[in-house]
């Protein structure tokens, strides 16, 4: 079983950048497609990006296309989310998650291992 711990969140000015990290424990990390989701207070958790087991295929939601980049390093058992040109969106917690499925699904119910989240606040 993989356990996930996110880090890298914080306060950033609009237009700025952050790099979120998700460290995984367990020897089976490379067998999981990974996803990033975010959730603002009072709102549903929403899909941000996903990456295949080997890192060669990615999927993004439309609102982050060209601004966010998901990547992974299986040797380090880590997945990353580079956030560039951040918009002054409401504060949100970003979560990484592992899926037992091969497809890079945006459906959060298809992910069965979750981290505790890291908060991102963008100041206007």
pLDDT at 32: 94
Distance CA 118, CA 95 (A): 7
pLDDT at 1: 78
pLDDT in single tens digits along all 124 residues of the chain: 789 999 999 999 999 999 999 999 987 899 999 999 999 999 999 999 999 999 999 999 998 888 999 999 999 999 999 999 999 888 999 999 999 888 899 999 999 999 999 999 999 8
- 6 to each of 10, 51, 102, how far by Cα in Å? 12, 16, 22
Distance CA 13, CA 87 (A): 9
pLDDT at 103: 85
Backbone angles phi, psi at 30, to 5 degrees: -70, -10
């Amino acid at each position: 079983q993989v356990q996930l711990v996110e880090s890298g969140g914080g306060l950033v000015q609009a237009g700025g950048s952050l790099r979120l990290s998700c460290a995984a424990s367990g020897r089976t990390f490379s067998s999981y497609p990974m996803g990033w989701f975010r959730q603002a207070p009072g709102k549903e958790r929403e899909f941000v990006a996903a990456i295949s087991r080997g890192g060669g295929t990615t999927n993004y939601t439309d609102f982050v296309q060209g601004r966010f980049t998901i990547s992974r390093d299986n040797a380090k058992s880590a997945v990353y989310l580079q956030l560039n040109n951040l918009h002054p969106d409401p504060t949100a917690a970003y979560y990484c998650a592992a899926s037992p499925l091969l497809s890079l699904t945006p459906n959060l119910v298809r992910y069965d291992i979750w981290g505790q989240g890291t908060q991102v606040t963008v100041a206007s």
